[in-house]
């Protein structure tokens, strides 16, 4: 008779996410996960075919955490700045999740043009088109500039112990966005 699952796949995934949040993605292995769950490694391998499958599930869970975080911080009336700020704040408050998502070669083979034309960025580009009264091609350029600016700040916050207030982040983003308006006016 097969072993009965005592620990759910959801519980295993949550424990793995907790480990990443605390110690980083490279610390996940079956032994550490089993210790966190206070069990043997058997429940892990009953729920996942192997660590590779678990890591794919963890990556998806991190992506969901990011999406939820960003959605909570979006201001429809100030869409692009609030989306950029949310990206930066995720790096500030969820350093290890940010590193796992954005500093783990997850964009390998993707070009800047691919990012600008990605479906999930079209609302931001439409917002820029409206804010700046410019065409889509120009809005994509503004988007890339703002994305690189906010990603640079996010990386600094995720990898260093910098102190910066949310109001300073607002000021930096607003100033950069206004300068971009001047450039594309």
What is the three-class DSSP state of 107? coil
Contact of 81 with 174, CB cutoff 8 Å:
yes
How far is the C-alpha of 45 from the C-alpha of 157, rounded, in Å? Answer: 36
pLDDT band at 1 (very low <50, low <70, confident <90, very high): very low
Mean local confidence (pLDDT), 115-141: 94
Class for the domain spanning 9-57: mainly alpha
Query: Distance (Å, rounded) from C-alpha 71 to C-alpha 58?
Result: 20
Segment 35-64 shows an average pLDDT of: 94
Per-residue pLDDT tens over the stretch 57-79: 999 999 999 999 999 999 999 99
pTM above 0.75, yes or no: yes
CA 55/CA 78 separation, integer angstroms: 35
Encode pLDDT of 72-113 as tens digits. Answer: 999 999 999 999 999 999 999 999 999 999 998 766 668 888
CA neighbours closer than 13 Å in the CB half-sphere of residue 96: 14
> Domain locations in the chain?
9-57, 74-183
| Whether 142 contacts 128, CB under 8 Å | yes
| 59, two tokens | 């990556």
């Amino acid at each position: 008779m097969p072993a009965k699952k005592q620990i759910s796949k959801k519980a295993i995934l949550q424990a793995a996410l907790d480990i990443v949040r605390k110690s980083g993605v490279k610390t996940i292995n079956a032994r550490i996960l089993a210790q966190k769950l206070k069990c043997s490694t058997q429940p892990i391998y009953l729920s996942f075919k192997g660590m590779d499958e678990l890591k794919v599930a963890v990556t998806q869970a991190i992506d969901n955490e990011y999406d939820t975080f960003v959605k909570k911080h979006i201001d429809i009336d100030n869409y692009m700045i609030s989306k950029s700020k949310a990206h930066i704040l995720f790096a500030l408050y969820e350093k290890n999740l940010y590193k796992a998502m954005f500093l783990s070669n997850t964009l390998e083979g993707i070009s800047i043009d691919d990012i600008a034309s990605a479906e999930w960025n079209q609302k931001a580009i439409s917002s820029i088109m409206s804010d700046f009264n410019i065409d889509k091609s120009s809005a994509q350029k503004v988007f890339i500039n703002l994305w690189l600016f906010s990603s640079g700040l996010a990386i600094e916050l995720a990898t260093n112990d910098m102190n910066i207030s949310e109001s300073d982040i607002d000021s930096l983003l607003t100033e950069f966005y206004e300068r971009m308006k001047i450039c594309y006016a």
